[in-house]
């Protein structure tokens, strides 16, 4: 009997799901896993096993002894390494393929790109579309990695959470979709981090910038006390997978943070 080997597109879609779900949601009752498996014409258990196989390639899970099948396929290893080597292209490609599979990107959208607009307009439209697809992947991945909680305060309300970039989005396009370049922060803390009002030391403890410290002292601001001062020195809650890159955090501390 011929094995039903996984195609590259199927592996991209499966790995996309691996990044966007907490490990505890890799089960056959997960409605997204059920839907994707059906559309791939595979069983939910086969898709779950593929996700677990990817987990066995994840360095953080290797330290915890997570195991998948005894013989991980060469294709699994290759697609994993492709992602690691080129987050920008592979994250975008996998997200597009997943959206096509689920019908989020439909024929009308594809037909739109074929209309007789000027080349400049079509290029700009395509660029905007890719940015949105990439942002969707990054947000879902980061929130899932941090179990939908702010890594400083523990805020658990998704509508109040932001997938924050450690290295600035505009300056490091090659790291825009890299989960190691993301933190899950409440909106107020995201803005403060982005503007360099807060950062993290080499031990991942929260450090507060001079402006917040001074305002809190001079004005006795309860808001600043509750949102920032009370968390000074608190260790960042590191996710089980794709922990923030220490070099990226060092860059933020030395080049963006206004101590």
Write the pLDDT tens digit of every residue in 53-70.
Answer: 898 887 765 555 555 455
In the chain, the largest separation of any two C-alpha atoms, in whole Å, equals: 76
**Which pLDDT score is estimated for 3?**
55
Handedness of CA 35, 40, 46, 52 (dihedral sign): negative
Which residues, listed in sequence order, are joined to residue 183 by a DSSP beta bridge? 164
Tens digit of each residue's pLDDT (9 = 90 or more) over 81-90: 999 999 989 9
**Which pLDDT score is estimated for 108?**
42
Residues 6+ positions from 217 with CB-CB distance below 8 Å: none
CA gap 105, 100 in Å, rounded: 5
Which residues, listed in sequence order, are joined to residue 186 by a DSSP beta bridge? 161
Tens digit of each residue's pLDDT (9 = 90 or more) over 18-49: 999 887 889 999 999 999 999 999 999 999 99
- Give the pLDDT band of residue 131 (cuts 50, 70, 90): confident
User: For the CA atoms of the chain, what is the radius of gyration?
Assistant: 21
β-pair type (161-165, 206-208): unpaired
User: Do 55 and 161 belong together in one domain?
Assistant: no
Question: Would residue 3 count as lying in a domain?
Answer: no
User: Do 85 and 109 belong together in one domain?
Assistant: yes
CA gap 46, 6 in Å, rounded: 10
Is residue 71's pLDDT more than 90?
no
Place of tokens 């979709």: 177
Is residue 109's pLDDT more than 50?
no
- The residue-averaged pLDDT of 105-129 equals 55
User: Do 22 and 133 belong together in one domain?
Assistant: yes
**Which pLDDT score is estimated for 132?**
87
User: Do 93 and 13 belong together in one domain?
Assistant: yes
Which residues, listed in sequence order, are joined to residue 208 by a DSSP beta bridge? 198
**Which pLDDT score is estimated for 141?**
95
**Which pLDDT score is estimated for 219?**
80
**Which pLDDT score is estimated for 188?**
96
The C-alpha angle with vertex 116 and arms to 110 and 121, in degrees rounded to 5, equals 80
Tens digit of each residue's pLDDT (9 = 90 or more) over 133-165: 989 999 999 999 999 999 999 999 999 999 999
CA gap 152, 144 in Å, rounded: 16
Tens digit of each residue's pLDDT (9 = 90 or more) over 198-207: 999 999 999 9
Structure tokens at 144: 């899932």
User: Do 124 and 182 belong together in one domain?
Assistant: no
Which one of 91, 122, 140 terminates a domain?
A: 140
Which range marks the domain in which residue 208 is found?
A: 147-255
- Give the pLDDT band of residue 119 (cuts 50, 70, 90): low
CA gap 237, 152 in Å, rounded: 7
User: Do 151 and 132 belong together in one domain?
Assistant: no
**Which pLDDT score is estimated for 57?**
87
User: Do 107 and 180 belong together in one domain?
Assistant: no
**Which pLDDT score is estimated for 130?**
84
8 A C-beta contact, residue 183 and residue 236: yes
Share of the chain above pLDDT 70, in %: 86
Structure tokens at 161: 């959470």
CA gap 28, 10 in Å, rounded: 17
Number of domains present in the structure of the chain? 2
């Amino acid at each position: 009997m011929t094995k039903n080997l996984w195609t590259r597109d199927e592996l991209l879609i499966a790995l996309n799901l691996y990044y966007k779900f907490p490990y505890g949601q890799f089960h056959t009752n997960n409605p997204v896993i059920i839907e994707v498996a059906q559309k791939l014409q595979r069983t939910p258990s086969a898709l779950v096993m593929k996700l677990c196989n990817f987990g066995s390639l994840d360095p953080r899970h290797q330290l915890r002894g997570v195991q998948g099948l005894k013989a991980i396929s060469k294709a699994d290893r290759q697609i994993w390494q492709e992602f690691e080597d080129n987050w920008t292209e592979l994250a975008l490609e996998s997200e597009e393929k997943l959206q096509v599979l689920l019908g989020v990107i439909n024929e009308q959208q594809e037909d739109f790109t074929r209309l007789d607009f000027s080349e400049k307009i079509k290029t700009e439209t395509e660029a905007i579309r890719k940015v949105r697809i990439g942002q969707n992947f990054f947000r879902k991945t980061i929130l899932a990695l941090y179990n939908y909680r702010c890594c400083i305060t523990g805020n658990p309300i998704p509508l109040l959470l932001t997938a924050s970039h450690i290295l600035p989005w505009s300056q490091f396009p090659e790291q825009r979709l890299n989960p190691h370049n993301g933190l899950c922060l409440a909106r107020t803390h995201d803005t403060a981090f982005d503007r360099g009002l807060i950062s993290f030391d080499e031990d991942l403890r929260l450090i507060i910038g001079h402006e917040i410290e001074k305002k809190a002292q001079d004005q006795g601001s309860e808001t600043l006390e509750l949102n920032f001062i009370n968390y000074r020195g608190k260790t960042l809650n590191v996710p089980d997978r794709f922990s923030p890159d220490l070099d990226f955090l060092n860059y933020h501390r030395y080049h963006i943070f206004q101590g």
